[in-house]
Amino acid sequence: MSSSQGFFFKVHEVAKLIPYGKVTSYGAIAKYLGASGSARMVGWAMNASHKDPGVPAHRVVNRVGLLSGKHHFEGTNLMQQLLESEGVEVVDLKVQDFEKLFWDPMKEL
């Protein structure tokens, strides 16, 4: 319980810092946290974010802008709708102009 929150907490904090209408990748967050090799753990942390309101998990996608985690959201297209509601163009589960919308915590923070 408590011991595991460390990694999750940091991931949640970074996710909360993602600007509106922007997206980032698991690897970018992992690298920012100093766990570049634990990109998968970021995804795992996002899984825990489900109980942590305020964590925009829909803004976190894989390295190519693919909504790899959309299956973990309720419904069938909630994640895409959330992104589109923020002005992010999403086609076929992929973020369009990903390079433009990409928000790198290493670079911005």
Partner DNA sequence: TGAATGACTTCGG
Partner DNA sequence: CCCGAAGCCATTC
Site residues for DNA, window 68-97 (CB under 7 A)?
Answer: 68-69, 71-73, 79, 94
Q: Enumerate long-range contacts of 38-47, CB under 8 Å, 24 or more apart.
A: 38/7, 41/7, 42/11, 43/68, 43/69, 45/7, 45/8, 45/11, 45/12, 46/11, 46/15, 46/72, 47/72
Tell me the closest approach of the beta carbon of residue 87 to DNA, in angstroms. 19
Q: Where are the alpha helices (DSSP H) in 1-109?
A: 2-16, 26-32, 39-48, 78-85, 98-101, 105-108
Count of residues binding DNA (CB under 7 A)? 38
x/- string (CB under 7 A) for DNA, residues 1-20? --xx-xxx------------
Closer to DNA by Cβ: residue 20 or 100: 100
Span from 37-45, 82-90, 101-109 in contact with DNA (CB under 7 A) = 37-45
Residues that bind DNA (CB under 7 A): 3-4, 6-8, 25-28, 30, 35, 37-44, 46-47, 49-50, 57-58, 60, 62-65, 68-69, 71-73, 79, 94, 98
